[in-house]
Amino acid sequence: MNILLIEDEKKIAQFVTKALTEVGHEVVSILRGDEGLTAATTKPYDIIILDLALPGVDGIEILRAVRERSISTPVLILTARGSKDDRIQGLDEGADDYLPKPFAMEELIARVHALTRRVGAQKSPILRMADLVLNETTRDVFRSGTKLYLSIREYGLLNFLMHNPGRAFTRTELCEHVWKSALDDETNAVDVYIQRLRRKVDEDFPVKLIQTIRNIGYMMQETSVEAPVATAA
């Protein structure tokens, strides 16, 4: 799993990162709340481990911002604030679990894996946006009931964007997540495949789903091509 850890105590962050890495996860560790807020709301993660007392932006503010943006990533609060009121506030704001400090590393790992199983059990193989339907089991894609025939890379790009609706990604980020590469010369390929996807997904339909975000990159969103921040150019 790709885990975002927002924890300002450097030693704890190092220990947690090491433990989770040793059991096979990838961990992005951030020490400041303002930087953690940016990461949590602009990049996809499987789980967010979040401290509450952070410099820059408080953990509750980060949690609130994540849920206000309809980001459903499971959030595990990890904090020294162990009072009942703190736990209730965190859960009310949308946290999925709460682990007070000090804690046993084995328990943290167990809770992370429990959250993963819970999300996996609830996950549907069907992705939908407007009248676009993608079946991850059969890899079939339909728009208004018409089957679309996509190449492997077209499917991979569409699948990733549909998993992250309303979130803009740079060409480099799309290369990293879809192409599994960060080579600069491959970013041009993103434009090529976006153009091909648009011909198949959007060209014959009044509602455009693949949006260009000026000076950033691309995202999937059900909106008009005349929207001020998103165009299909």
Q: What is the Cα–Cα distance from 213 to 233, expressed in whole angstroms? A: 9
Burial class for 61, CB neighbours closer than 10 Å (0-12, 13-18, 19+): middle
Domain ranges of the chain: 2-122, 126-231
Please, are residues 131 and 208 in contact by the beta-carbon 8 Å criterion? no
Task: Please state which of the ranges 10-19, 42-51, 65-74, 120-129 shows the lowest mean pLDDT.
Answer: 120-129
Q: What is the Cα–Cα distance from 228 to 213, expressed in whole angstroms? A: 10
Q: Is the predicted pLDDT of residue 119 greater than 70, yes or no? A: no
Q: What is the Cα–Cα distance from 75 to 51, expressed in whole angstroms? A: 10
CATH code for the part of the protein at 2-122: 3.40.50.2300
Structural tokens at position 150: 């996509």
Its pTM stands at 0.56
Burial 91-109 (b: 16+ CB within 10 A, else e): eebebbbbbeeeeeeeebb
Output the pLDDT for position 196: 95
More confident call, 30 vs 90: 30
CA Rg, the chain, in Å?
19
What is the pLDDT confidence band of residue 184, given thresholds at 50, 70 and 90?
low
Q: Which of 132-141, 162-171, 197-206 has the highest mean pLDDT?
A: 197-206
What is the pLDDT confidence band of residue 92, given thresholds at 50, 70 and 90?
confident
More confident call, 82 vs 201: 201
What is the pLDDT confidence band of residue 122, given thresholds at 50, 70 and 90?
low
Q: What is the Cα–Cα distance from 200 to 189, expressed in whole angstroms? A: 17
DSSP 161-184: HHHSTT--EEHHHHIIIIIS---G
Please, are residues 171 and 187 in contact by the beta-carbon 8 Å criterion? yes
Please, are residues 210 and 194 in contact by the beta-carbon 8 Å criterion? yes
Q: What is the Cα–Cα distance from 174 to 44, expressed in whole angstroms? A: 11
Q: Is the predicted pLDDT of residue 194 greater than 90, yes or no? A: yes
Quick: pLDDT tens for 77-87: 988 866 667 77
What is the pLDDT confidence band of residue 186, given thresholds at 50, 70 and 90?
low
Quick: pLDDT tens for 128-164: 888 898 988 788 999 988 899 999 999 999 999 998 8
Count the neighbouring beta carbons within 10 Å of the beta carbon of residue 229: 12
Do domains 2-122 and 126-231 share one topology? The answer is: no
Q: Is the predicted pLDDT of residue 225 greater than 50, yes or no? A: no
CATH code for the part of the protein at 126-231: 1.10.10.10
Long-range contacts of 11-19 (CB under 8 A, 24+ apart): 12/101, 15/105, 16/49, 16/78, 16/105, 16/108, 19/105, 19/108, 19/109
